[in-house]
Structure 1
Amino acid sequence: MKERQDIVCIANTTWFGEYTKSTVQLMSRLAKNHRVIFVEYPFTIKDMLNTFRKKQHAPVKRMLNLEPSLEKIKTTENTEIYHLVVPPVLPVDFIKNDAIFQFFFQRNIQLYQKRLRKVFKKLAVKDPIVISAYNPFYGLSMIGKLNQKLNIYYCYDGIGTRRHGPRIFGIDEQFSKKCDAIITTSDFINSEKKKWNPNSFVVKNGVDFESFVKEAKKDVHQKSKKIVGYIGSLDHRFDIETMEKVIQQLPNYEFHFTGNLRNEEIKKRLEVFENVQFFGAVKPNEVPGLLASYDVGIIPYLVNEINKNIYPLKINEYMAVGVPVVMTPFAELKDFEGMISVAGSSENFATALQNEIEQDSKDKIAKRIAFAAQNSWDAKAKEFNNIIEQLLETNGNRK
């Protein structure tokens, strides 16, 4: 982009954490040419209390302004962003009555907006580009309130009711129609959003290629026990039943599951098998080496309406270290046809695992790595930046 812009990211995630986040990856790279303000996930009073009880970790002192709520931090890409923590908001998702919900939610918006305006004044922000990252509630409420020149909805997952309840569907539709443009991470989400907003684009997830390729396999592992590995959140998306049957069919393979256990049923049902091990979440810098130790990587997600939207981050991460991939047909990922195996039943999944392991080769490893190189986060950030530039030109840089 020819001109340096102020970008404000209204996030629905935290900057720091134990897993890769597309929003963080993109903002880290956009910060090379722009001034980026990342507004941390709005923690609630409940989150604050849970932190006191040592059940979670929220930046309480910064939330309460006992420490600076705004900090300039260095990213892994050697760039700098402004990291902002807003005051604790009220937990309102459980409120069924819409009128009561709106009453309390507007209080949250006032707190959120007040903190933003204070920061804008301090940093002399006048007409920013606002990117609402999977946060239609706050994104919709901020339209027209921040003197923004562009409102972009970055939608990296399907909309579901698990967290916000059914009202999320109406909010998502309203925001999709009112924002200037939508950038999605999958063709499926894009096809849905285009029904509401013709300015819908696709920037698919990438991989921190340079970090992963350093740990890439050079050749097929020569070991008696082959490892089938999964790394990521162990949550409601996981297809327990399929994996249960696959593990029973392949007693001579080791199955390693690493990540934040959010669905206890997964461990309860799978740890009974002798060839299964569970490991806690690892630090981001440990992920590439761990993945490279696998003989095959798996993405066993349930086939349902929500998971159709997913473009999994881990698919490029597996391939960047040369590891073959087997997944359930939860989403249509045409970009990877001929590069990965997709299996619709437990029997086919087990067969695919055997084939990928037995037929792996040095040449196949090299091809996977070369393919992943095309999907680096640097390339994805450039695509994202080009869309912003296109939108600014179309809108005539209006405020």
Structure 2
Amino acid sequence: MTTGRDVVFTFSYETYADAEARGMMRPPDRILQTLLNADEVAGLLVANPYRSIPSVLRAGFSPETGPRFAASKRGALITPARMRRADPTKLGAIVGEYRRYDSVLKRRSEQLGLRVPVIVTANPLVAAFCPFAWASSVLYFGRDDWLSSTSRQEYWPAYQMAYQQIRESEIAVAAVSQQIIDRIRPLGPSMVVPNGVSPAEWLAPLPPEPEWLAALPKPRAVYAGTIDQRLDTDAVAALAHSRPDMHFILLGPSPDPDYVSQLRELANVHVHGGVGRDELVATLRNCQLSLLAHRRTALTEAMSPLKIYEYLAAGLPVVSIDLPPVRGINDRVLVAPTAAGMGPLIDRALEIGPMSEAERRDFVSEHSWESRHRVILDLLMRSPLLHRSEVFRR
């Protein structure tokens, strides 16, 4: 007989299909994987963010029941729908939308027979504005500081109010960095849960180089991740000019190809599109150096850079801009005040060289997602229930 607790999990602005397409590699995706596999979880409802009714119907399923969720026999997936996909920008309208979202989740949870479930959400608007009177508790998981996301600036007033609501309602908060915790200032339980790695991906024997990588001379320095405004392209260009002997690889999707146009002109800079997880692992494990060449912004200062953990899982030395979540991860992470000042550290990093295989395996085991999420599961499953304020303030 199952004695675990029922859970409702919600994404932020992406869907389960998005998570599957990217290989379940982002922190909320990994938490969902943990919930799917945890013995402590009895029933599980996974909720996508709002999507438009036309797009949901075009996909061929009912707006409230969603597509078949094949990942777990004990779970179900739901896609709440409305006429427009995007949230309204006025605070009152946002609160109304998420009260309706709450009603959809409540109805589906009851249909599944979930009993006073725990809520785990990666969306601060869900955590703050869904009443969840039918749930036992709420845990907000912060993977980014949404108040620093310039791409969502029109929602900053809503996020500010959401953080206040999370704080005053004493909602539990787990975040990838202390900076996010400090921004929210939660009065309820809180914890920092940095990013991690999957041992199954990183502990296999050394994979062969992808063909495109094998064509590039060594030494190779790699930056892996979305190539967007976080990347300091001027600093990368300066590094490439100062080290013509080294080949710099930018590996990941480029939402704005023009953003890296100056780098494409450099013979020792290679911009390569996004790849699957196996190819990412093979690429990192066959490079000599890794880079975190971010601009210093409020957003990057609050991140727990997943790529650094993956660089180290590959055994690579890291040259990084000095950001608070980067400090103290490993002595192979060399930090410079700015991306422009990273050049002098390259030779030192190459001298340090890769980890021994024993060191690398120890790092992967110590920083596994399983070990990261154990503290979250312990918090979710503890008795008595997490405190949730009976007063839903507005």
TM norm structure 2: 0.83
What displacement does 1:314 show?
1.4
C-alpha contact (below 8 Å) 1:9/1:39 kept by paired residues: yes
AA in 1 matched with 2:139: I
Partner of 1:186: 177
Q: What residue in structure 2 maps to residue 87 of structure 1?
A: 81
Measured against aligned partners, the alpha-carbon deviations of 1:306-335 in whole angstroms (never above 9, x if no partner) come to: 211111111111111212211111334333
Q: Is 1:177 the counterpart of 2:174 in the alignment? A: no
Structure 1 residues 141 and 70, CA, compared in 2 at 3 Å: closer, same or farther?
farther
Please report how far the alpha carbon of residue 395 of structure 1 lies from its aligned counterpart in structure 2 after TM superposition. 4.4
Pick from 31, 36, 54 the counterpart of residue 26 of structure 1: 31
Alpha-carbon spacing, 1:63–1:162, altered in 2? closer, same or farther (3 Å): farther
Structure 1 residues 271, 331: CA separation in 2 closer, same or farther (over 3 Å shift)? farther
| SS of equivalent residue, structure 2 residue 363 | helix
For the residue of structure 2 that corresponds to 1:206, the secondary structure is: coil
Q: Is the 8 A contact 1:8 1:39 kept in 2?
A: yes
Distance 1:136 1:63, change over 3 A: farther
Which residue does 1:9 correspond to in 2? 9
Equivalent residue number for residue 388 of structure 1:
380
Query: Residues 217 and 65 of structure 1: is their aligned pair in 2 closer, same or farther, counting only changes over 3 Å?
Result: closer
- Secondary structure in 2 matching 1:73: coil
Once the two structures are TM-superposed, the CA of residue 36 in structure 1 deviates from its matched residue by 2.4
Runs of 4+ in 1 over 3 A off after TM superposition: 59-64, 91-95, 105-111, 215-218, 263-266, 345-348, 394-399
CA 1:42 to 1:284, structure 2 compared with 1: closer, same or farther past 3 Å?
farther
1-structure distance, mates of 2:86, 2:355 = 54
Report if the CA contact (8 A) 1:204-1:380 is conserved: yes
1:379 maps to what in 2? 371
Shift, 1:91, TM fit: 4.6
Q: 1:89 to 1:141 in 2, by over 3 A?
A: farther
Aligned twin of 1:211 = 201
Q: How does 1:103-122 map to 2 (within 5 A)?
A: 103=93, 105=94, 108-109=97-98, 112-122=101-111
AA partner of residue 6 (structure 2): D
Shift of 1:337: 4.5
**Aligned partners of 2:172 and 2:186 also within 8 Å:** no
In structure 1, give the amino acid aligned to 2:286. Answer: S
Distance in 2, Cα, partners of 1:86 & 1:298: 40
Once the two structures are TM-superposed, the CA of residue 205 in structure 1 deviates from its matched residue by 1.1
Contact 2:322 2:338 (C-alpha < 8 Å) held by counterparts: no
The aligned residue for residue 141 of structure 1 is: 129
1:209-251 Cα offsets, whole Å, 9 max, x none, are 2211215589xx9x95211111111122112221121111111
Unpaired segments ≥5 residues, structure 2: 209-213
- Equivalent residue, structure 1, for 2:211: none
Greater Cα shift, 242-251 or 61-70:
61-70
Determine the C-alpha separation between the residues in 1 that align with 2:82 and 2:224.
32
The verdict on how the C-alpha distance between 1:383 and 1:125 changes in structure 2, with shifts beyond 3 A counting, is same
**Aligned with 1:274: secondary structure?**
coil
Residues 342 and 349 in structure 1, CA contact (< 8 A), matched pair in contact too: yes
Shift of the 5–387 alpha-carbon distance from structure 1 to 2, 3 Å rule, reads same
3-state SS, counterpart of residue 324 of structure 2: coil
Structure 1 residue 256, shift from structure 2 partner: 1.1
Asked if residue 163 in structure 1 is aligned to residue 152 in structure 2, the reply is yes
Q: 3-state DSSP class of the match of 2:316?
A: coil
Question: Is 156-165 or 178-187 further displaced after alignment?
Answer: 156-165
Matched, 1:39 2:47: yes
Task: Provide the alpha-carbon RMSD of the alignment.
Answer: 3.1
Structure-2 separation of matches of 1:179 and 1:64: 37
Mapped contact 1:339–1:368 kept (Cα < 8 A): no
- In structure 2, do the counterparts of structure 1 residues 150 and 70 end up closer, same or farther at CA, with 3 Å as the change threshold? farther
SS in 1 for 2:138: strand
Does the Cα contact within 8 Å between 1:217 and 1:322 map onto a contact in 2?
Answer: no
Distance 1:84 1:91, change over 3 A: closer
Decide whether the 8 Å contact of 1:216 with 1:322 is kept in 2: no
Pick from 128, 139, 145: which aligns with 1:152? Answer: 139
Change (3 A) 1:155 1:373: same
Q: 1:301 to 1:123 in 2, by over 3 A?
A: same
> After the TM superposition, which of the residue ranges 342-351 and 181-190 deviates more from structure 2?
342-351
What TM-score does the superposition give when structure 1 sets the normalisation length? 0.82
